[in-house]
Structure 1
Amino acid sequence: MTHKSLEKIEVSRRTLLVAGTAVGLSSVILPSATVAADWKNPRPAIVDGVRPFKVGVPEKALIDLRGRLLETRWPESETVTDRSQGVQPAKLKELVDYWRTSYDWRKAERKLNSYAQFIANIDGLDIHFIHVRSLHENALPLVMTHGWPGSVFELLNVISPLTDPTAHGGSADDAFHVVLPSIPGFGFSEKPTTTGWNPQRIANAWDTLMKRLGYDHYVSQGGDWGAIINDALARQAPQGLLGIHVNRVERATTFPPDAAAALKAGGPPPETLSADERVVFNEAKDFLANGFGYAAIMGTRPETIGYGIADSPVGLAAWLYDKIADWVYTRGEPEKVLSKDAILDNISLYWLTNTGPSSGRLYWENIVAGAKLTPSKVPVAVTVFPGEVYRPPKKWLSRAYPQLIYYNQAPKGGHFAAWEEPEVFTQEIRAGFRSFRS
């Protein structure tokens, strides 16, 4: 789809909205598991396999959610005084009470609908994406990918600084055209009904999407699953991909061989490591021992965990909140850096689209696909945030990224860098991709 085609669709959409006949262009999202098991969008104004999209959750789904929250059967309190057994009931009850009595999904809906959204059918699957073009002539096309337990919500606050840098302390030379797709099985993207939608296939779909939008060259950015998809894209190195930026690095591809062997054996760090490298080794060892259970479950039994998180909004909230709390820079206290509304926007999206189970299957797909340890074939920029789970030193990255052109350690921020610290994140994206501009 060309830029002119997208402009025609947007003009048509606005015309219908003014005329009060936008129902045909408004995709009604099916929210709750009790309302329906799946949702299908109407198919208006399809151009090159792309159609406009607008979020509109039926009110009965929100009533159903509040009713379920009210009828929650809570577990007894933990037998410890810290988070070592998981999300603490007192903490979750406070969040859930706010969710039921004060939180307003319609504000989140309006925020999403303030951006141009579309559905593209790629490789037989409907992919939801936000597309915001910069007004600056030489803007660089950028596809950005979220992770788990995140969504496009974690990236919304960087759209304006990236597309309109002059309004946010930057130069017109820093401008990007931004494309934010939802990973298959997440948010408003369709849920795969067959196996095979692994990071390699998703990366190929992203390349198809960018070219369908008329971009003959582009860059790609991601953290968490977005980084894994980015790495897959960089290994494929399709024509037009200039390079990638990641704010999360895969341990398996960057750990020194002797350290990797010691980690696998559960032993101490090798003598060859420096003091700083031993800190990274011990953090990785602790994470695998005490923080990796969520991935082990979804990587082997996504359907089993899926029943509980599809049926109970509190079960889903606990499952997602646990990792949000674990991975923010303010460890265990996400509310210090994210508002309750921001956290619940993300959790509500998972609930209203019933994508808790389907998003977890990506872990299973990745394991079935097998490890892909070949190096990137394109230039790579890396930002390491201090609250990230794995913080490799620069010299460890050469195995995975032989064309490392940018490396920086950010002053603050955690795993959800764009969500937690949008200003710092924006500065890193600008710096990381500056050398890619003609």
Structure 2
Amino acid sequence: MAAAGDAPTGEPSKQGGSSMGTEKDNAIRPFTFNASDEALADLRRRIVATKWPERETVADTTQGVQLATMQELARYWGTDYDWRKVEARLKALPQFVTEIDGLDIHFIHVRSTNENALPMIVTHGWPGSIIEQLKIIDPLTDPTAHGGSASDAFDVVIPSLPGYGFSGKPTAPGWTPDRIARAWATLMQRLGYTKFVAQGGDWGNAVSETMALQQPPGLLGINSNMAATVPPNISKALALHEAPPADLTAEERNAWNQLDFFYTKGVGYAIEMNNRPQTLYALVDSPIGLAAWMLDHDDRSEKMIARAFAGQSEGLTRDDVLDNVTLYWLTNTAISSARLYWDTAQASSAGFFDARGVKIPVAVSVFPDEIYAAPRSWAEQAYPKLIHYNKLDKGGHFAAWEQPKLFVEEMRASFKSLRPSKNG
């Protein structure tokens, strides 16, 4: 970690500790990151030295990320890609670290010039990072410059999950969504916010919904772009590989089919990280191994990324993808990020998409290429105070990254009714 003015480094280091006084523990310190030239040269050397397998024996992606995709990714990453471009974008943003519950938490914090801006904490997931949210910061904080009105303004807080990116790496088990949610509430309080909203997808949804269950002072409501709405009977039937209930609507049957596919064919990475994250040494040693592991998150995202490396312009660009993978590489967080799965599996046996019983206001944004499209009927059951539900025409798992304009419009619509009055 390199605080402003410190010597450049290629990897965050630990700061803070139990020996610090209370005032210092609560301090918010400026942060910047500089990858060393040596680290970038080593990355390129490792890419060029990749030992390749033979190509897959099928013509599709059923065996995993195709060799042609990974070899084109390696060619571009090792020759044309420039990490310094995204590093400059990050340096232009207000970034900070603060110690919460014994761990340094990194976050971006951009205040709107509008004094009535609504504070929002946005949480990424895996295999994402703060890179996912970079495109939405300006439209959320400066809406009049991006097709909105002044009343649409947000203050935006974007933290890095523990063990991810520039946040500290836990040295003991226990950093579950429950603990992270409490840390996020502490962060918002430390920033001086008495009223705020939360947003997330993937692990970001798990953290946001857990915050909603904890109901910290000031949390007005949440938005999810990967909502946990699956009813108990559906969750049980999926777990036991039973036939779908006969009374499902067409929308519910579509969700069933998506979930059934994911749990039977698309969750291999999560099974390994749930059970044996420390075994993933190859991801720390091989950048191509890391990239392939991250690309193979879900079928529709992997195919979209493959199209990007085949020269098509859609959703994410090649640079988008490699900005994120390179962040994981330079911060050496392949295994520390995976432990979130293990920690959570030790703490709970509940299904990731099972309805949790959230009682505060919830907005749901459904992007069609997400792992599953939450039906309105399930959302209404899961969230008694459903204040917004919308099915978008395009977009997938990395909604803010892939479709920032649609995502920003969803945030404006989702939280309109929760904005405190000027006198409130």
Change (3 A) 1:320 1:87: same
- Does the 8 Å contact 2:274/2:345 carry over to 1? yes
Specify the alignment match of 1:60 in structure 2. Answer: 38
- Does the 8 Å contact 1:327/1:415 carry over to 2? yes
Q: TM-score, normalised by structure 1?
A: 0.89
Change (3 A) 1:248 1:308: same
Specify the alignment match of 2:278 in structure 1. Answer: 303
- The aligned length equals 406
Q: TM-score, normalised by structure 2?
A: 0.91
- Does the 8 Å contact 1:29/1:57 carry over to 2? yes
Mapped partners of 1:63, 1:367: distance in 2: 37
**What SS does the aligned partner of 2:98 have?**
strand
Change (3 A) 1:289 1:334: farther
Mapped partners of 1:410, 1:371: distance in 2: 31
Query: Offset at 1:325?
Result: 6.0
One-letter amino acid of the counterpart of residue 251, structure 2? D
Query: Offset at 1:41?
Result: 5.2
Mapped partners of 2:386, 2:211: distance in 1: 15
**What SS does the aligned partner of 1:365 have?**
helix
Specify the alignment match of 2:92 in structure 1. Answer: 114
**What SS does the aligned partner of 2:237 have?**
helix
Specify the alignment match of 1:428 in structure 2. Answer: 410
Change (3 A) 1:217 1:375: same
One-letter amino acid of the counterpart of residue 399, structure 2? A
Specify the alignment match of 2:20 in structure 1. Answer: none
| 5+ long unaligned stretches in structure 2 | 18-22
Moved more, 254-263 or 64-73: 254-263
- Does the 8 Å contact 2:119/2:193 carry over to 1? yes
Query: Offset at 1:374?
Result: 4.1
**What SS does the aligned partner of 1:249 have?**
coil
Candidates 404, 407, 416, aligned match of 2:389: 407
One-letter amino acid of the counterpart of residue 243, structure 2? P
Candidates 312, 322, 328, aligned match of 1:350: 328
Change (3 A) 1:276 1:100: same
- Does the 8 Å contact 1:28/1:41 carry over to 2? no
Query: Offset at 1:377?
Result: 2.8
1:416 aligns with 2:398: yes
Query: Offset at 1:112?
Result: 0.6
Change (3 A) 1:334 1:234: farther
Query: Offset at 1:24?
Result: 5.8
Mapped partners of 1:117, 1:91: distance in 2: 34
Candidates 362, 377, 385, aligned match of 2:359: 377
Please show how residues 3-402 of structure 1 align to structure 2 within 5 Å: 25-26=5-6, 28-31=8-11, 39-40=13-14, 48-250=26-228, 254-305=229-280, 307-323=281-297, 326-327=300-301, 330=304, 333-335=307-309, 336-371=314-349, 374-402=356-384
Query: Offset at 1:151?
Result: 0.5
Mapped partners of 2:192, 2:5: distance in 1: 23
Mapped partners of 2:254, 2:57: distance in 1: 30
Query: Offset at 1:30?
Result: 3.3
Query: Offset at 1:222?
Result: 0.5
Mapped partners of 1:112, 1:318: distance in 2: 25
Mapped partners of 1:410, 1:403: distance in 2: 21
One-letter amino acid of the counterpart of residue 262, structure 1? A
Deviations 1:193-221 (A, max 9, x none): 00110000000000000110111111000
- Does the 8 Å contact 2:356/2:382 carry over to 1? yes
Query: Offset at 1:40?
Result: 3.3
Change (3 A) 1:128 1:28: farther
Mapped partners of 2:369, 2:302: distance in 1: 6
- Does the 8 Å contact 1:27/1:54 carry over to 2? no
Query: Offset at 1:228?
Result: 0.6
Mapped partners of 1:58, 1:198: distance in 2: 32
**What SS does the aligned partner of 2:168 have?**
coil
Mapped partners of 2:380, 2:7: distance in 1: 45
Change (3 A) 1:324 1:263: closer
- Does the 8 Å contact 2:25/2:98 carry over to 1? no
| 5+ long unaligned stretches in structure 1 | 1-21, 32-37
- Does the 8 Å contact 2:46/2:286 carry over to 1? yes
Change (3 A) 1:66 1:269: same
- Does the 8 Å contact 1:237/1:377 carry over to 2? no
Query: Offset at 1:286?
Result: 1.0
Mapped partners of 1:153, 1:237: distance in 2: 28
Taking only the aligned residue pairs, the percentage that are identical comes to 52
**What SS does the aligned partner of 1:115 have?**
coil
Change (3 A) 1:130 1:108: same
Query: Offset at 1:321?
Result: 1.5
Moved more, 308-317 or 259-268: 259-268
Mapped partners of 2:186, 2:303: distance in 1: 35
